[in-house]
Structure 1
């Protein structure tokens, strides 16, 4: 639905009273779309490029409506860094516009806020139960101290870090202090899970003593929402996890009080061992479907032969034993994670989803492990209750086609939608798509990889700063480095070289990225190789000199595994033949490519080159899924030696001349 919007350049009068900065291109258009959309009791979905200031524009557009109607603004994002940014922007409105009636807080979970080492870093459910045990037995001195004090109503904007530091200094519980402060806040910034997970959502609204109908919801970077919602409700158990559960059982039930639990653990592991033996060792990870018509009778046989009432009762008993183990570990000041408890949770998930078509049951096999995985493949049921909210605002830099996002989330098709014009000048951003580069699966030959290496080296030679090469997958990355002289070519150019690896820990990866960024600030012209959909192509920004050129090798389409084929089949049943494969297979791949392509362009002052090395990026069908600003700045080139290098060199020469003119006063 195309919606009419008032004249570009004018903010609604009420919004002007909150907007604290000099407007950037596109902000007034966005403000009008949100403000008038919410006034008309609509949901709103907007695509706007990174760097245009979507957060502060959204806040300024919603705050006057929330104030007038007495609504609470729940602003959600994927990461803690993003929700901290919300409070920083709210603070600017508070200070610059003098809106001292505003109160806001960013919310972290117990594991991040708690001062007890037993709770810090624990999974959410585990952290909640340990916290409950410590409070119940009055062993948390910070909580006891907080109970003895009267919490005054506070005004201002508070980050979670500030609340935690205050709690540490005042010797009170930061987590429960933040829960008290939330009750008096106009704006609460939190991660998606608080609204996605039904249990956490119920606790949130009980704490706030309000209803969904009295809240305006914002989903920032909302392209992440469907996958994260489905991931939240997915769960697996492996043969290794079952071995740990058996070991845990023998340690904590030496007297044999729970023989049925021991027998069932062995029975379930026996099934995994049987499947692993049948399929043998595999050098690469594979997926196979679970024959539920055979597996359910296999489990039913156990209950009959061993006098168990049913699997649900057994699952509850396993979880109860797991809680007992966690209490004993807590008393011994050990890590309170329990493999027995995890298996009980998995068994409950199995029972509740085994006949639900929205969940997929399959096995993941590798050479030395096997995992039974339950994957949620439809997030509409999880998100449907949220439609009762006063309004929902969905925002992202990579949301097109918006109809697909609304379909997958189950949001109403009458939602107002807008793709904002690109704020990036053609003089600052150039996108080159190469015709004649074939990186489809059966064309990934050594000669084709050598051509790719040649083109990448041409681009790197012409780039006066840091360059990243993001490959379609780890298989492409490893073949690219193995079958070409690319690494040697980088060495000959004297460029520092960094490569992402599958087995990197978070710390190793962060150290590598820090070095790469530092080289950029030092003018050392480093090269980073990674994968689309990886930690560095989506979760990290590289503004300014940290990255000025990005090369995308291929389209990051998923391998046709059992789960991917099942997802295509399910989406085809739900949305039709045309949309089924598009939503399940094509769209997620192009979203990954969009995210990777946008890494160096994070502010309106950034300039850079994006090179798309795959013929398919020049096709009209695939371009439909690329961000508006990428399409607007795209130049399609025929693949010939020197053409790409010349284009990139001319672009950066024009940037250098522009900077020299500015310095010279022209």
Structure 2
């Protein structure tokens, strides 16, 4: 037969309606724009779908990230230029037969062009006011939703002849009809979303997204959530003139309607702990939700946890002596471990301070690079296995919540031990303060700290702790290098079946590790 080129992605999407199982990214359901286009193309409705969310502990943050949009003055300028180009294209098309059908669209684009052009001065003043209003030593501040919207409303008033460009009692004249204030932002969003211009190719070879579309996404975010305390906006000084970022504090506003309209859902993860917290955060209906935490299928004796009680990364107790002690615990673990060791820290800065600037004997160090590709990560695991087979050892160093500590499958006993430095609490910020305030409103003060600070930090540790245990016959020693994990604030955030032991100094760490590796061998459980 005749051969013809086709698009595998298009074929796969069209075949979904006849499939029993579809595997895809979270965005297919939890990004409203993607969901609407995807389900329409797949000829599916939410009511037809049973949703299974793997690694569901990531879903709240993924939803928040989807609604994290950034606005800069450069984007406003580029949007104005894109509207000018799009308007010119429409004007040329109007000269063609049947082009009169585009007259209304062209008029709306011209209105949006004038609104954005007139708003540029207002945005310049807003960004300048935000920068000049920063407290001494601060690089960020909260931005009111009305502060941003008022710039656009004032520009609309100018374009429609309601203010400026006239004397008192002068008759108001404008080439545009007045647009009701209640629908202005909706209309501007829709027009910006429709902008179609030629764009340069990005790093992936595909055309970049027009700035007009990005601004439209910000307006859509303000329309959907701007009247709620669940949305906060933050100005920071990064970039040429600073930027404003939107943050959705409540992922349940996005997740709840998706789950309630679906035919059912299963959310699962090795660190979906406690499950009731995630059910509340995602707005799952209480009457139809069952939250269950199962004991780990991996024997506790094959994955003991050792807490170093003489070290901490608490800011007020940091110092050279404390850092030396942390390094000594890591060296003791290396000395007593027959294979590769991984170490994770709360930040790249701390990783460099504690690990990068130190020398550890008996191992070759591999430090995480933020630029690593998926192929690079796969090669890391193969390198660990090759070195282990050759009788050599590696100290793998990474960061909590980054790529080495989550999602990488260290199969085949690639790691024999993991050391977790500190507790990865988020640094104080406008966003973290807003998140805690909102959580207090929604969940109460008692749960707010756990839901926004202590539990997310512990769950990042749990993710890192689980890296070496990938099969029932694996075994690994976990060392937690911060005595605070024994304090009630954090201790009750760990699963109850986790076996905790203590080491008061590096020598105790070495003794515990030697006993563990002498007693528990990798391989068949039946032989233990």
TM-score bracket for the superposition, by shorter chain length = 0.7 to 0.9
State the partner residue of 1:268. 123
Aligned counterpart, 1:447: 321
CA RMSD of aligned residues (A): 3.6
Correspondent of 2:253 among 381, 387, 410 = 381
Structure 2 counterpart of 1:290, from 120, 138, 143: 143
Whether the aligned pair in 2 keeps the contact of 1:594 and 1:627 (CA below 8 Å) is: no
Trace 1:370-409 onto structure 2 (pairs within 5 A).
370-385=242-257, 386-409=259-282
Query: Residue 537 of structure 1: which of 391, 405, 413 is its match?
Result: 405
CA distance in 1: counterparts of 2:218 and 2:212, whole angstroms: 10
Superimposed CA distance per residue, residues 208-248 of structure 1 (whole angstroms, 9 cap, x where no aligned partner): 55544443321222111222122223322235545655676
- Are the structure 2 counterparts of residues 244 and 651 from structure 1 closer, same or farther at C-alpha, using a change threshold of 3 Å? farther
Distance 1:381 1:508 in 2: 36
What does 1:415-454 correspond to in 2, within 5 Å? 415-454=289-328
**Paired residue secondary structure (1:470):** strand
Q: How does 1:130-145 map to 2 (within 5 A)?
A: none
Distance in 1 between the 2:50 and 2:239 partners?
49
**Structure 1 residues 184, 344: CA separation in 2 closer, same or farther (over 3 Å shift)?**
closer
Any conservation in 1 of the 2:73–2:123 contact (CA below 8 Å)? no
Once residues 332 and 187 of structure 2 are traced to their aligned partners in structure 1, the CA distance between those partners, rounded to angstroms, is 65
Contact (CA 8 Å) 1:397, 1:627: kept in 2 or not?
A: no
- Correspondences of 1:17-32 after superposition (within 5 Å): none
User: Superposed, which structure 2 residues align to 1:477-556 within 5 Å?
Assistant: 477-481=351-355, 486=358, 488=359, 490=360, 493-501=361-369, 504=371, 506=373, 510=377, 513=380, 516-517=383-384, 518-556=386-424
Change (3 A) 1:472 1:431: same
Structure 2: where are the runs of 5+ without partners? 92-109, 161-175
List aligned pairs for 1:579-590, cutoff 5 A.
579-590=447-458
Quick one: distance in 2 between partners of 1:433 and 1:400?
A: 20
What does residue 446 of structure 2 align with?
578
Q: 1:520·1:545 contact (CA, 8 Å) conserved in 2?
A: no
Partners in 2 of 1:377 and 1:555 — Cα distance?
22
The question of whether the paired residues in 1 share the 8 Å contact of 2:115 and 2:156 is answered with no
**Within 2, Cα distance between the matches of 1:441 and 1:311?**
45
Mark the CA change 1:295 to 1:214 in structure 2 (over 3 Å): closer, same or farther. Answer: closer
8 Å contact kept, 1:521–1:546 = no
Q: Which residue of 1 aligns with 2:285?
A: 412
2:337 counterpart of 1:463? yes
The aligned counterpart of 2:465 is 597
Alpha carbons of structure 1 residues 651 and 248: separation in structure 2 relative to 1, 3 Å: same
Partner of 2:392, secondary structure, is coil
Matches within 5 A, 1:47-62: none
Alignment of 1:26-45 (within 5 A): none
**8 Å CA contact retained: 1:281, 1:366:** no
SS in 2 for 1:300: helix
Change (3 A) 1:343 1:265: farther
Q: Secondary structure at the match of 1:374?
A: strand
Match of 2:22 among 169, 188, 195: 188
Deviation at 1:465, TM superposition (A): 1.4
Cα distance per residue 1:466-503 (max 9 Å; x no partner): 11110122332233247xx62x2x2xx242112225x5
Assess if the C-alpha contact under 8 Å between 2:122 and 2:151 holds in 1.
no
Distance 1:318 1:211 in 2: 27
What do the CA deviations read for 1:275-316 (whole angstroms, capped 9, x no partner)? 33554998xx94310144544444433222333843443343
Distance between the aligned counterparts of 1:576 and 1:394, measured in 2?
Answer: 24
Displacement, 1:586?
1.5
Structure 1 position 594, deviation (Å) = 0.8
Aligned CA distance change for structure 1 residues 276 and 243 (closer, same or farther; 3 Å)? farther
Report the CA distance between 1:274 and its aligned residue.
4.3
TM-score (norm 2): 0.80
Note closer, same or farther for the CA distance 1:338–1:266 as it changes in structure 2 (3 Å cut): farther
The reply on whether 1:340 has 2:174 as its aligned counterpart is: no
Cα distance in structure 2, aligned partners of 1:317 and 1:201: 21
Q: Which residue of 2 aligns with 1:557?
A: 425
Secondary structure of 1:229's partner? helix
**Equivalent residue of 1:468, what SS?**
strand
Alignment partner, residue 363 of structure 1:
235
Distance 2:380 2:118 in 1: 48
- Please list every run of 5 or more consecutive structure 1 residues that lacks an aligned counterpart in the other structure: 1-144, 150-168
Whether contact under 8 Å (1:516, 1:528) holds in the other structure is no
Does the Cα contact within 8 Å between 2:73 and 2:120 map onto a contact in 1? no
Where do 1:202-221 residues align within 5 Å?
202-206=36-40, 209=43, 211-221=45-55
Q: TM-score, normalised by structure 1?
A: 0.65
The more displaced of 602-611 and 199-208 is 199-208
